[in-house]
């Protein structure tokens, strides 16, 4: 089963030693919004998905689990 977005987002954030608060500020979203992405309650908008992919220098396919290796 492919990795789900929320799992991959949390993995990337932890690898970079970032808190939800810090990364939400970097992405210009409320921490509560970021937290909802990370637990899989709500998906990000396409604009936010692009910002996340750009920040971590990964593809959107990798973020959403369509690709296992970036």
Q: Over the range 25-43, which residues count as b (16 or more CB within 10 Å of their CB) and which as e?
A: eebebeeebbebbbeeeee
The CATH architecture one would assign to domain 5-63 is: Orthogonal Bundle (1.10)
Q: Output the pLDDT for position 68.
A: 78
Question: What is the tens place of the pLDDT at every residue in 34-60?
Answer: 999 999 999 999 999 999 999 999 999
Percent of the chain at pLDDT exceeding 90: 87
Instruction: Reply yes or no on whether the pLDDT at 67 is more than 70.
Output: yes
Domain segments of the chain: what residues? 5-63
Query: Looking at the whole model, is its pTM more than 0.85?
Result: yes
Q: Output the pLDDT for position 2.
A: 56
């Amino acid at each position: 089963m492919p990795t789900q977005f929320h799992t991959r987002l949390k993995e990337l954030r932890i690898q970079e030693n970032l808190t939800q608060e810090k990364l939400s500020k970097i992405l210009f979203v409320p921490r509560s919004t970021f937290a909802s992405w990370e637990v899989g309650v709500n998906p990000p908008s396409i604009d936010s998905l692009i910002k996340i992919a750009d920040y971590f220098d990964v593809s959107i396919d990798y973020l959403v689990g369509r690709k296992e290796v970036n």
